[in-house]
DNA sequence: TAGATTGTTAATCGATTAACAATC
DNA sequence: TAGATTGTTAATCGATTAACAATC
């Protein structure tokens, strides 16, 4: 009976995202030699509420010790287990362009549940080659290989216009979860897990906020009369 | 008086992220030859509510024509203007590893407000070289160059342990907005814009959902009694 | 005109934040 | 023991969803 997690509905994405943050933070603190930590400390270092940290940690079934806190090592273990990061899944990556290449070369995700075992592309110049020991096949082979190797995770790093067809091939190949870097809303069966990395959306937030900031600071020349009036209003 | 935007508080990140999605979707539809589109169509294609699309579009000051909809071209223009994507800012990137390299090579962000004009690293093997015509300097030069070129945007693609110091250098160099790919919560003055790309968080969501799914499907051998009982409960 | 579409206002929902009780 | 910490329950807030009114 090592599984004391009580049944709860699906966990919110936000909570899962924070848990990943906690792990990275805790690994760093552990490397510094810290052995015990309180939710209050985690919260203040990461800029969130301590009650939120506790709620998130509770999702993993963790129980802390009043007055003491949590053992850093146990926390890391428990979160990693909860996120399934102690269980590495093989993954296929389709689209060996700039980002695809970077993800294949980068081995850092292997401590986060994913190991890329093959790349796929339609570029003849790439097919048959290896990148860091990982073979690149023609995308034609995707469905068959995914089925045979029982691959569960697919990564899409193709140009936007090919993302949908690749997603469909992945589904046909029995892939259950797609990590999608293309700026496209994929249409897949409802039971397929899709996690989008929206770089352009992230950039949109950055860009628009910078614009607002520059305008507020008066750094932009073409300020119109209405805005100037508003400025004056504020100063009163 | 081309600026009919009324004053509203800061726009929510979610809304900005969706606006970026709309642009990409609309660009694709425009390429297909579509000239007019309704909020209802956008919504159903992207899987969101039409009232939400309208609210988001309203943020940009756009006004549609009842019974007709919006001109695709105008929509794109308005959203791009709102996101400040028609105004390209020069950016510095620090950390020319796998991801840094990919971002430097990839020119796609130049239609989304960002142009990387220099890379920085501490690796002697990289310094002095060019990647796609973009020079790589020693990180020592960052502060001075950022100040002199009045760079406003910094991109952090260093290992986690160096992200904080790089962020501090950026702030000292007068950089106002940081696009951070390191899994670290940066501590910077409150007026500095930080936008994190949380790849590990994204992976955490994927990983945990896949785990839940596999468990639900019974694909994992070690199913315990409690879970089996729950399964039986459901089937009634 | 009728109807498709727009835009806005109200209701619901979920996540965040705050307040409180429990414990080593 | 007193107090720091945990864990939980209640209040607030904001975003999503639904319902309605306006218009070419």
pLDDT at B40: 95
How many helices (H) and strands (E) are present in chain B, helices listed first?
A: 9, 9
pLDDT at B77: 94
Q: Which of A28, A176, A198 sits opposite B17 (nearest CB)?
A: A198
What residues of A are in contact with residue B17 (Cβ under 8 Å)?
198, 201-202, 204-205
Rounded CA separation A209/A189 (Å): 36
pLDDT at B165: 98
Q: How far is CA B126 from CA A72, A131, B159, in A?
A: 37, 20, 16
- In terms of C-beta density within 10 A (0-12 exposed, 13-18 middle, 19 or more buried), how is residue A26 classed? buried
What residues of A are in contact with residue B177 (Cβ under 8 Å)?
206, 209-210, 213
Collapsing DSSP to helix, strand or coil, B103 comes out as helix
Q: What value does the mean pLDDT take over residues B166-174?
A: 98
CB-proximal positions of chain D, under 7 Å: 3-9, 14-19, 22-24
Q: Which residue has the higher pLDDT, B159 or A3?
A: B159
pLDDT at A223: 40
pLDDT at B236: 37
Rounded CA separation A219/A214 (Å): 5
pLDDT at A70: 94
Minimal Cα–Cα distance from A131 to chain B, Å?
Answer: 12
Collapsing DSSP to helix, strand or coil, B196 comes out as strand
User: What confidence tier does B6 reach under pLDDT thresholds 50, 70, 90?
Assistant: very low
Say if the Cβ atoms of B201 and A152 lie within 8 Å. Answer: no
Q: Is the CB of B97 under 7 A from strand C?
A: no
Q: Tell me the pLDDT tens digit for each residue of B99-131.
A: 999 999 998 999 999 999 999 999 999 999 999
Looking at the C1' of nucleotide C22, which residue has the nearest alpha carbon? Answer: A66
Mean model confidence pLDDT for chain B: 90
pLDDT at A8: 58
Q: Is the CB of B51 under 7 A from strand C?
A: yes
Say if the Cβ atoms of B207 and A101 lie within 8 Å. Answer: no
pLDDT at A4: 37
Q: Which of B191, B198, B230 sits opposite A7 (nearest CB)?
A: B230
Rounded CA separation B13/A205 (Å): 6
Closest Cα to residue A38, out of A53, A18, A24, A20?
A53
What residues of A are in contact with residue B113 (Cβ under 8 Å)?
203, 206-207
Give the DSSP per-residue string, chain A: ----PPP-SPPPHHHHHHHHHHHHHHHHHHHTT--EE-HHHHHHHHTS-HHHHHHHHHHTT---BTTTBEEHHHHHHHHHHHHTTTSPEEEEEE--SHHHHHHHH--GGGGGTEEEEEEEES-TTTTT-EETTEEEEEGGGHHHHHHHHT--EEEE-S-HHHHHHHHHHHHHTT--EEEE-SSS-----TTSEEEE--HHHHHHHHHHHHHHHHHHTT-SS---HHHHHHHHHHH-
Q: Is A25 on the interface with B (CB under 8 A)?
A: yes
Say if the Cβ atoms of A193 and B201 lie within 8 Å. Answer: no
Rounded CA separation A111/A59 (Å): 21
pLDDT at A222: 45
Q: Is A19 on the interface with B (CB under 8 A)?
A: yes
Six-digit token string for A41 = 């400390």
Say if the Cβ atoms of A20 and B176 lie within 8 Å. Answer: no
| Number of cross-chain residue pairs from A and B with Cβ atoms under 8 Å apart | 211
Q: What value does the mean pLDDT take over residues B34-45?
A: 95
- In terms of C-beta density within 10 A (0-12 exposed, 13-18 middle, 19 or more buried), how is residue A213 classed? middle
Rounded CA separation B188/B139 (Å): 19
| Prediction pTM value | 0.90
Selected residue of A203, A219, A225, A232 to mutate for chain B interface (largest B Cβ count, 10 A): A203
Looking at chain A from residue 80 to 139, which residues have their Cβ under 8 Å from any Cβ of chain B?
A: 82-85, 87, 89, 97-99, 101-103, 105-106, 109, 112-114
- Calculated CA dihedral for residues B8, B73, A197, B101, nearest 10 degrees: -110
Q: Tell me the pLDDT tens digit for each residue of B82-103.
A: 999 999 999 999 999 999 999 9
| Residues of chain A where predicted confidence (pLDDT) is lower than 70 | 1-8, 219-236
Collapsing DSSP to helix, strand or coil, B20 comes out as helix
pLDDT at B7: 47
Q: Report the 3 state secondary structure along B33-49.
A: CCCEECHHHHHHHHCCC
Looking at chain A from residue 27 to 86, which residues have their Cβ under 8 Å from any Cβ of chain B?
A: 28, 45-47, 82-85
């Amino acid at each position: 009976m090592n599984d004391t997690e009580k049944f709860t509905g699906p966990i919110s994405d936000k909570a899962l995202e924070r848990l990943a943050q906690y792990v990275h933070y805790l690994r760093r603190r552990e490397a510094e030699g810290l052995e015990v930590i309180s939710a209050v400390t985690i919260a203040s270092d990461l800029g969130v509420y301590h009650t939120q940290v506790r709620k998130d940690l509770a999702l993993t079934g963790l129980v802390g010790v009043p007055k003491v806190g949590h053992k850093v090592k146990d926390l890391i273990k428990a979160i990693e287990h909860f996120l399934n990061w102690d269980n590495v899944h093989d993954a296929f990556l389709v689209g060996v362009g700039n980002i695809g290449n970077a993800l294949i070369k980068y081995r850092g995700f292997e401590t986060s549940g994913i190991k890329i075992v093959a790349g796929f592309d339609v570029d003849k110049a790439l097919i048959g080659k290896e990148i860091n020991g990982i073979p690149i096949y023609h995308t034609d082979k995707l469905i068959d290989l995914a089925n045979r190797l029982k691959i569960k995770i697919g990564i899409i790093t193709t140009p936007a216009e090919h993302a949908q067809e690749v997603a469909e091939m992945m589904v046909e190949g029995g892939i259950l979860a797609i990590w999608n870097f293309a700026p496209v809303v994929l249409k897949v069966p409802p039971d397929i897990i899709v996690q989008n990395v929206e770089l352009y959306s992230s950039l949109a937030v950055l860009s628009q906020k910078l614009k607002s900031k520059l305008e507020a600071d008066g750094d932009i020349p073409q300020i119109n009369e209405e805005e100037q009036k508003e400025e004056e209003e504020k100063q009163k």
